[in-house]
Amino acid sequence: LPAGLSQWFPALEVLDVSGTGLSELGTELLALPCLHTLLAKNNRLGGPGSLPKGLGQAPLGRSLRVLNLSGNRFSEVPPALLGLRELRSLSLGGNRLHSIPPEIQELRSLEFLYLGGNFITSIPPELANLPSLSYLVLCDNKIQSIPPQLAQLHSLRSLSLHNNLLTYLPREILNLVHLEELSLRGNPLVVRFVRDLTYNPPSLQELAGRTIKTRNVPYAPSDLPENLVRYLSLASNCPNPKCGGVYFDSCVRQIKFVDFCGKYRLPLMHYLCSPECSSPCSSASQSSTSQSESDSEDEASVAARRMQKVLLG
């Protein structure tokens, strides 16, 4: 960038240097107190010194709202960006990213995050700590699973996950009550009911805990060691309404399909308290039959109202 930029244009609000072959953004940027949009896509940024030091503490760090660095050569999310606390839109698509740092949660004002077209293999649970995130684009990566914590993104309206390596979605995804668009095409999503038959028998501690919970055995914190009281508080209810059982660590993991809008079928991760406990909505011993589709109808109708548009094709 030319020297004296801040002197020539002290009131500059939007700067577009896309496609100019830049390999670094100079320190001149730091002194632009009014700059709220910086577009620097399709360049050669990504090496050491690509971004000026002290970005988060400079006047620019307080004014910048939109930053587009897509189509560059970053192999990691630059730590300097994590200090831009007022940033609302961040685009790093088409780079060489292999991971998302947990520190992404520091960008508390972020509403739009584009990380498509990278080599990302997993999503950190900390991503769920972005209270204003409305649009999350993670398409064209190598993601194999979705952390259930993403259900905490209550502002999320659009989630793009197409062209990844997903085989199922966590059941908690149904809690995204404001989600309007979910893109899943190009994933190896399973096409029939699958059940994981591996099941580790419960420990003696879990058997005792299950008995206390299912029989409502009364106890007070003074009756048990603190670690056991905490353990009993971690009991999860079996989703089978006819079961009433609980589990702690030992459970059956399977995939249940939920129909949306009478057309699309989403595979959701489902947990049961034992191999013998099959819920009405998941016929584990049957393949995709009309009975199993009917069984999931009630829950599907609820989920369909929560998601207005599901893009799978």
In this structure, are residues 299 and 281 in contact, taking their beta carbons and an 8 Å threshold?
yes
Number of Cβ atoms within 10 Å of the Cβ of 136: 22
201: its two tokens: 């028998």
pLDDT in tens, the chain (313 residues): 444 555 566 778 899 999 999 999 888 888 888 889 999 999 999 998 899 888 888 888 889 999 999 999 999 999 989 989 899 999 999 999 999 999 999 999 999 999 999 999 999 999 999 999 999 999 999 999 999 999 999 999 999 999 999 988 888 888 888 888 888 888 887 544 344 445 678 888 988 989 988 888 998 888 888 899 899 999 988 888 778 889 888 887 766 666 554 445 677 777 888 877 764 433 332 223 333 333 333 443 444 344 434 434 3
**Residue 186 confidence (pLDDT):** 85
Q: What is the DSSP code string of 257-296?
A: EEEETTTEEEEEEEEESSTT---TT--TTS-S-HHHHHHT
Count CB atoms within 10 A of the CB of residue 131.
14
Strands, sheet with 264-272, edge to edge from the N-terminal-most edge strand: 169-170, 264-272, 252-260, 194-195
Global confidence as pTM: 0.68
Where in the chain does DSSP place strands (E)?
14-16, 37-39, 66-68, 89-91, 112-114, 135-137, 158-160, 169-170, 181-183, 194-195, 236-237, 246-247, 252-260, 264-272, 309-311
Domain boundaries, the chain: 5-195, 200-249
Residue 82 backbone phi and psi in degrees, to 5? -75, -5
* CA–centroid distance for 166 within its chain: 12
Q: Hey, is 172 helix, strand or coil?
A: helix
Q: What are the percentages of helix, strand and coil residues in the chain, rounded to 5?
A: 25, 15, 60
Q: Which CATH code is given to the segment(s) 5-195?
A: 3.80.10.10
Dihedral, CA of residue 129, residue 131, residue 136 and residue 141, to nearest 10: 0
248 to 81, 146, 170, 192, 209: CA distances (angstroms): 40, 21, 18, 28, 8
CA torsion through residues 290, 293, 298, 300, sign: negative
Alpha carbon distance 214, 33 (integer Å): 62
Strands 194-195 and 252-260 turn out to be antiparallel
268 forms beta bridges with 169, 256
